[in-house]
Structure 1
Amino acid sequence: MHMIVGLGNPGRQYEESKHNTGFRVVDELAKRWNVTLWQDKMDALVAQTTVNGEKIILVKPQTYMNESGRAVGPLMRWYKIDQPDVYVAYDDMDLAVGRLRIRKNGSDGGHNGIKSLFANGCTDFTRFRVGIGRPLPHHDVVDHVLTPFPEELREAYQQGIEDAATAIEGCLSLGVDKGMNRYNPKKKK
C-alpha cells in the first residue's frame, strides 16, 4: 500500500496558486485513475483506489501548508503505511518552472509543509518536487507562492505537473530507485 500526498492550501482563493502544486499532481493522478469519490478524514480529503493490484491512498491535507503534517502523520499511522511508502508532491522554488526532482530523503529545504511533516513523525518519505522558480528580485516569497503563474509559464508548469504524475506512476511500478533513474532529469555533461 502507498499513500500519495499532495501539499497545498484549501480554499478557492488558493486553487491556482503555485503553492498548490502538490494538490494538482494528486488531482492529475485522480483523473488518470478515474478517482472521483473523496471523503473528509483526519483533516484531509482522502480517496482510495487500486493501481496494478495495489491499494493507493490519495491525500490532500486541508490544514493549510504550514500544518500539513497534522493530517499526514495521523493518516500514515491509521493506514499503517511505512514511511518510505509515502510519496509527497510539492512545489520547490529552487527548481526552474516545471522541472521535476525525485529524492528518497533529505532536509526540509526551508519548505514549511515539509517541516510540518517532520514535526509530525513523517521524515523518511519520497519527495516529488516540482519547480516553481524563484520570485523576481525585490518580490515577496509569500506573494510568489500564493499567486498563479503568468500565462507565459503555464505550459511549462503544467508539463511539470504531468511529469510528476508520470514519475509517481513509474515509481509505483518500478520502485523508487529505478524510477529516480528514469524520471529525474539527467545532468548535462
Structure 2
Amino acid sequence: MKLIVGLGNPGKKYEQTRHNTGFLVIDKVAEKLNTQFSQTKFHSFYTVVVYNNEQVMLLKPQTYMNLSGEAVSAAVRFFKIKHEDILVIIDDLDLPIGKIRVRANGSAGGQKGLKSIIDHLSDSNIPRLRVGIGKNPLIDTVDYVLGKVEPENRDLYQKSITEAADTVLLFIKGGVKEAVDRNNGKNNGSNTPTTKPTSGD
C-alpha cells in the first residue's frame, strides 16, 4: 500500500491558504482518481483506492499542521506501511511559486508538519513533495503562510498544484525514484511569480 499525505489545517478559516497547499494537491489527486474523502479515522479524512494495481490511501490529517505526526503514525501502524511507500505533500517557503521538488529523505527544513511526522516515525527517510509558495520579507511568516496567494500569481500556483498531483501519480506507479527522476529534471515553474512590496495579502 502507498500512503499519500496532504498536510494543512482543518476548518474554513484556513481553506485556500498557502499553508494548506498539501490539502489542495491531495484534493486534486482525489479528483484524478475519481474518489472522495468519505472515511474518518486516524484523526483524519481519508479514502482508499486502487491505482496501477496497487492500494493507495489518501490522507488529510485533521490534527492541525504541527500535530500531523499523530495522524500519520496511527495510519502507518494500522496498515503496516513501509516508510518508503509514504509521500508527504507540503508547502515550501524556500521554493518560488510554480516550483515543486521531490526528495527521498532529509530534514524537515523548518516545516513543522513534516517535523512532527519525522518525530513520530523516528525516521527522516520519508519521501516528501515540496510545493513552492515563495516568501515576502515584508510580511510576517505566520501571516504569510496563513494568507492566500496573490491574484496575479494564482494561475502559476494552480499550475503547480496540478503538476504536483501528477507527480503523486508518478510516485504511486514507480516509487520515489521515478518521481524524482521525472519531476526534478523538469523546468517546472519557468514563469516568474509577481512580488509586490505590500504589507499584507
Look up the match of 1:132: 133
Measure the CA separation in 2 of the matches of 1:29 and 1:93: 22
Measure the CA separation in 1 of the matches of 2:111 and 2:61: 15
Matched, 1:184 2:198: no
- Contact in 1 for aligned 2:37/2:45 (Cα 8 Å): no
TM-score (norm 1): 0.94
- Give how far 1:138 is off: 3.1
- Give how far 1:182 is off: 1.0
- Give how far 1:186 is off: 4.8
Matched, 1:175 2:175: yes
Q: Percent of aligned positions with the same letter in both sequences?
A: 43
TM-score (norm 2): 0.89
Measure the CA separation in 2 of the matches of 1:185 and 1:129: 15
- Give how far 1:171 is off: 2.0
Look up the match of 1:165: 165
Unmatched tracts of structure 1, length 5 or more: none
Q: Indicate the RMSD between aligned Cα atoms, in angstroms.
A: 1.3
> In the alignment, residue 148 of structure 1 is paired with which amino acid?
K
> 3-state SS of the aligned residue for 2:170?
helix
Q: Could you say if the C-alpha distance between residues 60 and 73 of structure 1 is closer, same or farther in structure 2, counting changes exceeding 3 Å? A: same
- Contact in 1 for aligned 2:17/2:147 (Cα 8 Å): yes
Matched, 1:59 2:59: yes
- Give how far 1:185 is off: 4.1
> In the alignment, residue 36 of structure 2 is paired with which amino acid?
T
Matched, 1:19 2:22: no
Q: Could you say if the C-alpha distance between residues 24 and 37 of structure 1 is closer, same or farther in structure 2, counting changes exceeding 3 Å? A: closer
- Give how far 1:28 is off: 0.3
- Contact in 2 for aligned 1:98/1:131 (Cα 8 Å): yes
- Contact in 2 for aligned 1:17/1:148 (Cα 8 Å): yes
**Aligned length, in residue pairs:** 186
Look up the match of 2:3: 3
> 3-state SS of the aligned residue for 1:175?
helix
- Contact in 2 for aligned 1:98/1:156 (Cα 8 Å): yes
> In the alignment, residue 155 of structure 2 is paired with which amino acid?
E
> In the alignment, residue 104 of structure 1 is paired with which amino acid?
A
- Contact in 2 for aligned 1:83/1:123 (Cα 8 Å): no
Q: Could you say if the C-alpha distance between residues 140 and 37 of structure 1 is closer, same or farther in structure 2, counting changes exceeding 3 Å? A: closer
Unmatched tracts of structure 2, length 5 or more: 188-201
> 3-state SS of the aligned residue for 1:163?
helix
Q: Which runs of 4+ in 1 moved over 2 A?
A: none
Look up the match of 1:98: 98
Look up the match of 2:197: none
> 3-state SS of the aligned residue for 1:115?
helix
- Give how far 1:175 is off: 2.8
